[in-house]
Amino acid sequence: MLVRMTTNADGPQTRPRRRAPAGAAVLREDVTEAIRAAVFEELAAVGYARMSIEGIARRAGVGKTAVYRRWRSKLHLVLDIVSALAVQGLPAPDTGSLEGDLRLLYEVTSRALRHPVASQIIPDLQAEAARNPEIHEAMQKTLREGQDGVATTIVAAAERRGEVRAGLDRELALDLISGPLYWRSVVIRGPRLPKEYLGALARATAGALKAL
């Protein structure tokens, strides 16, 4: 047992501790989550170009070393955050009908895209993706994996119920399912969606999928 000034995963402190095995690293999960939350807030506040490790650390209430222990640079930090979104994905609806599944998916997606933080971060990262191949690749992977998994589940369930033909073109189905809402909410960023818009979109998309 040693008693000495030590630096744990996130800051200096004096306390007795056992010697950790060589090469071991203990990173506190609550600090990691605080940094991730700070990244979203910092991106929304200043954008990727002006975002800094110092600003993230200050917002998270940790030292810069706590950030650098987890990520080598702000690029790697943002890539990790973006990639994590793909893993979380969207819930796969199971309402018993194609139109119902689409309506629920659109409701969840619309709420997420309307969130003040997301509404600022996504366009900013899209702009950065046009200049940075690594961010572009991560964004494409995130958007593709997250949406593709849900769309595939919805179409597969519709096939089992006989609502659409077997062997439907999944790429085309993904475009039909994801494209309109993303265009309306992220690209043109128009006013708040009319009350019946999501229901009408679900009916139209279901009809298009059945016609393929």
pTM: 0.64
pLDDT of the residue at 81: 74
Model pLDDT for residues 11-64, shown as the tens digit of each residue? 444 444 444 444 445 778 999 999 988 988 888 888 888 899 999 999 999 999
The answer to whether the 29-70 and 84-211 domains have the same CATH topology is: no
Spell out a b/e string for 77-100, using b for 16 or more CB atoms within 10 Å of the CB, else e: bbbebbeebbeeebebbeeeebbe
Residue 92 has pLDDT above 90, yes or no: no
pLDDT tens digits, one per residue of 126-158: 788 888 888 788 777 766 666 677 888 899 999
CATH code, 84-211: 1.10.357.10
Contact 39, 56 (CB under 8 A): yes
Residue spans per domain, the chain = 29-70, 84-211
pLDDT of amino acid 7: 42
Contacts with 161 (C-beta within 8 Å, 6 or more apart), sequence order: 96, 97, 98
Q: Give CA separation, 121 vs 7, 45, 125, 130, in Å.
A: 34, 9, 6, 14
Task: Please tell me the predicted confidence (pLDDT) of residue 99.
Answer: 97
Q: Which fold has domain 29-70?
A: Arc Repressor Mutant, subunit A (1.10.10)
Rounded-to-integer distance, Cα 147 and Cα 62, Å: 34
